[in-house]
Structure 1
Amino acid sequence: MQASSSNSKAWLKPALAAVVIAAAGVAAYAALNQQSSAPAVTFMSIKGEKITPESLHGKVVMVNFWATSCATCVAEMPKMVETYNKYKSQGLEFVAVAMRDDPPNYVVNFAETRQLPFKVALDTAGDAAKAYGNVAMTPTTFVIDRNGKILKRYVGEPEFPALHKLLEKALQG
């Protein structure tokens, strides 16, 4: 009788383990899919214009942290310009945020010589990068919906067809 009693409880440990694993999976899924709000950051453009959270409210926004010394950033910039030009009439706003160590005169020169059509901001104190989760890698791009929720964070150059699908969905909402 003793053996059958211990065998009848043999299922308990694997069942408990399965419940714990399932609960952890549900928690991880919820955490990964929970949209966090974009930080309430006021950017200062290279033209001296304040770009406030209020001025971006109700728009789909791309915030792109970049640097003139970043080869990937420079290479992706024409595609960012194409993306902005494709969707700006539907309500897309774009803020290219130059990183703290990027000399302002380099940023202004880059923006002017390439005729960047969107807002270009300086993060001279590093406050914006810090607010966006301590951005250190460039390029890092955030897509933010009309309600101020971060839909996606790209580290490195985005896959542009997938980015365009995401923007189209966000702009429809």
Structure 2
Amino acid sequence: MSTQTPPRSSWLKPALIGAALVAIAAIGYSSLASSTPAPDVTFIDIKGQKISSQSLRGKVFMVNFWATSCATCVKEMPQMVETYNKFKGQGMEFVAVAMKYDAPNYVLNYAETNRLPFTVALDSGGDIAKAFGDVTLTPTTFLIDKNGKIIKRYVGEPDFPALHKLLEKTIAG
């Protein structure tokens, strides 16, 4: 009794079809993951002004969850300021959301002392952090495109050169 190996064509075609389906599924998943809509929230800045995420539609914007007690947040803030200053002329907006446990007077003092040029909002009830997927780790930053879709989430300090390239591409697109 001899055992013959099946001809290559009998297993090659199903293998290629399977590989193609896996690739299509991966592409579908990544495009789905990169098009999560940003939640509809209203930010209340340190001056008491309300800014809705709806009002930011049509612009690329970043939402940065931070705290004055977070060493990484404080370390990255000058680079966030540089990023904002570099791209604000191209229509980018930026909202720094202080976590609910951050004392409002600390946030106000930090924002004034460091002359933060962008919107600094308080999340006193934690509702904004909840709406963005229950953010608990700081810093966490979301990059949102002109259509209101989250295209990138950074937990920890972003790779700023890569962030700048992504901002250039997103603003141009």
TM-score, normalised via structure 2 length: 0.87
Distance 1:153 1:80 in 2: 15
Partner of 2:53: 53
Deviation at 1:47, TM superposition (A): 0.7
Q: Which moved more, 1:91-100 or 1:18-27?
A: 18-27
2:163 is the counterpart of 1:163: yes
Gaps of 5+ in 2: none
Deviation at 1:48, TM superposition (A): 0.3
Distance 1:2 1:16 in 2: 25
Deviation at 1:14, TM superposition (A): 9.3
Name the CA shift for 1:130/1:16 in 2 (closer, same or farther; >3 Å): farther
Q: Which moved more, 1:44-53 or 1:28-37?
A: 28-37
Paired-residue identity, %: 62
Distance 2:139 2:50 in 1: 22
Deviations 1:77-131 (A, max 9, x none): 0000011011111101000000111111111111011010000001111111111
For the residue of structure 1 that corresponds to 2:36, the secondary structure is coil
Deviation at 1:172, TM superposition (A): 1.3
Distance 2:65 2:147 in 1: 21
Q: How does 1:1-173 map to 2 (within 5 A)?
A: 23-34=21-32, 35-173=35-173
Distance 1:18 1:73 in 2: 47
Deviation at 1:28, TM superposition (A): 3.4
Distance 1:156 1:18 in 2: 39
Deviation at 1:25, TM superposition (A): 4.6
Deviation at 1:171, TM superposition (A): 1.3
Distance 2:10 2:124 in 1: 59
Distance 1:122 1:12 in 2: 63
Q: Which moved more, 1:137-146 or 1:23-32?
A: 23-32
Point out 4+ residue stretches in structure 1 off by more than 4 angstroms: 1-4, 11-22
Q: CA RMSD in A?
A: 2.3
